[in-house]
Chain A
């Protein structure tokens, strides 16, 4: 807000800049070599609720899918589902480890790079470990991991909610076969292919149930910002994938605090954004 009582804007910017530059002539007076992939907006958001970035952290995993897993069959391809679950579990565990070692209480803005190949599933997580300013180290068990941006994290905290961790679930299934008779019979009709519908339904349900079970295990009351991926595998069109993940949240205060947003009309066109990278 542009008000006189706002300490940020009470500053004389030009004087502040000169003071800042003068400090370059002497060695760093304040220690603390932090690294982060947050933007300045995200860092200021974190600061406004008393949190700070600590360290850039990563966790990854590559899990093999056993030979023959995608061959024609029926029901769930449990080897693939299991490999997917393992890849997430190992990668998150390593991220936890990395964050706890750096002194973080949680990891925000986790970027999830995932790819499913015929013989292996790859997962790479990258995010910034954060903590309440100056807070001491917590045990690895208490570190939360979230794919919410620092901005979303701030808004959640301001409203009285806290992230608890990532929940995920995946289910790979074979598309059911139709008998030759059925194919011939259905060729000229507009009918629902009920066995297909059912198979898709149960696969979707399977993935969501796994995610929900994990959320409950984390003692969460909700999952926000859920990403859903579904469709046939490019390398095995008769196999279908359903995968979902999101951040588990729980209310941290007695009541939900309303934000009361202000309405604004923006005169920016979508392409007009502040960005230094204009020189291209």
Chain B
């Protein structure tokens, strides 16, 4: 699918050949677009449907015998049982590890959908894509996840085609106007994901749920659950690091972080962080603005 412009479905070309533009912009956003000297040229979109499973490396049962070794460079932490005992009920060790294969598959799905949207934009001769919206959702009950990214391609009225890849942004309307006025120019949308699997140690299980061997728990007062703090902190750090790698000296603006946790079975859970934002480049020096006029609504 990597071959640009060659794999656009036939229907797209027919749609693009039509005289009228289509745009997902609301009227205020459309008005702001004209104000900036942009003309909308078409709604552009890209998809990627992927088979999806939340499996663990090597299968869940294997982990009962020896800890997972981890991939080079990935986050990995082991928690040994201090009690020196092994049984079906009492875990000999706990582990936090980064699931880089899930992060990789997610990145592949997102990037495929994104680059297909860009192909459409390039086919239209766009300078940029504004008001990008992305959804990652399951298709009914099929075990299939669909990445769908869309936005409105725009062209600077009267300007020649740009030699660089069209820029993209989640913003549109007055928000985008203000980005330019503040001395920034959008470069691209940025999305990254982090996935950390937690296999709770006996101590963690005891502290979280009161399960296991209470008589070995040293303290009786409140205590911090180190393994959980560590896993959650790691997930947030990984997602920020992934995003920072894509910045290349630019700023990341309007970040949205979504954290979700799911428990597969007792003591086995996944922490997932999704980060999205706008990569912006400063094109002129900061120019302080006057403080806006405070208002009170009469109602």
Residues of chain A having any CB pair with chain B under 8 Å = 1, 6-8, 11, 13-14, 16-21, 23-25, 27-41, 43-45, 47-50, 52, 56, 58, 60-67, 79, 82-83, 86, 90, 94, 113, 117-120, 122, 124, 126, 133, 154-155, 158, 259-266, 274-280
Contact = CB atoms under 8 A, between A and B. Distances in A.
Contacts of B81: none
Nearest to B28: A274
Interface string B74-98: 0000000000000000000000000
Interface of B: 24-26, 28-29, 35-38, 43, 127-128, 130-133, 150-152, 156, 159, 162-164, 167, 170-182, 184-185, 187, 207-210, 214, 220-225, 228-229, 232-233, 236, 240, 243-244, 247-257, 259, 277, 281-299
Contact of B170 (A18, A263, A276, A278): A276
A66 B220 contact: yes
Contacts of A49: 291
**Residue among B167, B223, B296 with the most chain A CB within 10 A?**
B223
**Residue among A8, A275, A278 with the most chain B CB within 10 A?**
A278
Could you tell me the dominant secondary structure of chain B's interface residues? mixed
Contacts of A27: 249
Contacts of A124: 232, 259
Contacts of B283: 19-20, 23, 29-30
Nearest to B217: A67
Given A62-B229, A64-B225, A119 B210 contact: yes
Contact of B209 (A1, A119, A261, A277): A119
In the A-B complex, the 3 residue pairs with the smallest Cβ-Cβ separation, listed nearest first, are: A276-B172, A279-B24, A14-B37
B282 A28 contact: yes
B222 A82 contact: yes
B225 A35 contact: no
Contacts of B223: 63-64
A40 B32 CA distance: 15
Contact of A31 (B29, B209, B249, B288): B249
21 contacts: A28-B248, A31-B249, A35-B251, A37-B256, A40-B175, A63-B223, A64-B208, A64-B224, A65-B222, A82-B221, A86-B224, A119-B210, A124-B232, A155-B294, A158-B291, A261-B296, A263-B295, A265-B298, A274-B175, A277-B131, A277-B170
